[in-house]
Structure 1
């Protein structure tokens, strides 16, 4: 080591990099809600106060918190992530999320990067990483944040200040980020979903089918045949990954899309129910109230008053 230089302690390096990431997100947002960036796969999220539970869709990706904390509910399971822990989602999951640590002085600040599962598969094909295990794992997990992962994300975010560098350097750093995750404790989870023929890969295709046909009647035998699985195998592995059955998953998709339509003012309750596949408006209202805690019109009004409408996303988005 050169005279006059000292190594930065690991914890000090993490805090320094986290503070820089928080500063970049802070100046790039300014208002609560989701904020897209010049990188299509990268978004920032800011919240100045703890929020209510919001049902939304988590896509495959990484959520790295620079300040504050959030929790995600999947079925009966709760996943909390904060400055010390990142969240990874390997598959599209309908969840309830809630900011639990935020204040006007120290807002919740998070960087979210969506994954392209095909890019993971391409990276696996060109490396000597271990083969995927045969175990079907839940499609969401929380892990301790490492210096290497935070440094990679920070270097990617810094590129926003030099737009001319984005086309050349961003793909390289995004590839490095995937490599960091594939060599972390979350590696087996991501490798499994990206491996053609694996149960996670087949369930991923089943989810794609459900997202494109959520408004149609669901026949499990047809869905199972579409993804080359038996009905019993599809049920077992689908629940293992998503914590719900295909029918429950479809119901969540329908109700979330109906909620989005109502928030956008595109139709009334009966029309929304019909557009997402319900024949009975009364059944739709009962199931909507059971999931969101209030009848459709009251729920939408509450969301608008709370400023949460931006967290409700389209199935196509």
Structure 2
């Protein structure tokens, strides 16, 4: 990675805002040709909306936004960035936006394997190796982080260069995050054998085996932790118990099956591991605020607009 001239934050924000504004003129969310990079645009403040929080870097270049996880708000604006390390449930909300000055920003999915390689190769190590028991945080946005993000986004006007240059710039962004004020948090998830890394491995296993009956003691054994330590660490990172997390995965997977594969509620409930469609419907309404049929109908109406 070679050093690049670093612009001031103001000019970087303006440059990114112009590009994101151009790409999102007629859409709220846009997936770009650069893998893992997407843009968002909102013309007004919104109520909290349930979402899947994936490992990602989120930057707002205009307006302000917040993520709510476990009831805790994490506000970010052009002076800060949001970093998430695990796939957990949350709610997203726009808190500053107007038609004249919409909330504009980007999401860049994190490559946890790349972070792990950097840590394993001693490319970066924290000064103090304490465990951060939170998978989401707000960090200070610096020009060292925003400058490569701006260079990545400008590649959209040079599509032939994307396959060659985008991976290099993504690597630089990951390095800058590891050396940021949230580097310790990312290190704790990337370092092989750390408690956070072991919980992350369990979450990945649960996502692949969500329809299988699970016992917390078996999960703790798989993570090489005592039952009490595993349960506490799991809750610290995800804000829920292992069985609550499994239920959340099942309900979200059923939602996708009904939306994309057009399964009815009963068929989707059996597919994800429920034995009782009525229990499934009750728990679905508790999570999404309405019955499965009404929720899917609304999602399809929204997508058709």
Same fold (TM over 0.5): yes
**CA–CA distance in 2 between the matches of 1:128 and 1:175?**
13
SS of match in other structure, 1:78: strand
CA contact (8 A) 2:58 2:105 kept: yes
Alignment match, 1:96:
91
The structure 1 residue matched to 2:287, chosen from 291, 295, 304, is 291
Q: Write the mapping of 1:10-49 to structure 2, written as runs, cut at 5 A.
A: 13-49=8-44
TM-score, with structure 2 as normaliser = 0.90
1:236 paired to 2:232: yes
The structure 2 residue matched to 1:82, chosen from 77, 84, 96, is 77
C-alpha displacement of 1:265: 5.6
TM-score, with structure 1 as normaliser = 0.87
1:160 paired to 2:156: yes
Alignment match, 1:280:
276
Q: Write the mapping of 1:49-198 to structure 2, written as runs, cut at 5 A.
A: 49-124=44-119, 125-130=121-126, 133-198=129-194
Report the aligned-residue RMSD. 2.2
**CA–CA distance in 2 between the matches of 1:179 and 1:137?**
21
**CA–CA distance in 1 between the matches of 2:271 and 2:21?**
39
C-alpha displacement of 1:128: 4.6
Matched pairs, number: 299
Deviations 1:103-159 (A, max 9, x none): 332222221111111111212224253267232421001122212211121111111
In structure 2, the gaps of 5 or more residues are 1-5
Larger CA deviation: 118-127 vs 257-266: 257-266
C-alpha displacement of 1:251: 1.2
Cα 1:236–1:40 shift into 2, 3 Å:
same
Deviations 1:33-86 (A, max 9, x none): 332222112111222333343322222110011222222221121112222221
SS of match in other structure, 1:66: strand
Cα 1:302–1:99 shift into 2, 3 Å:
farther
C-alpha displacement of 1:271: 1.4
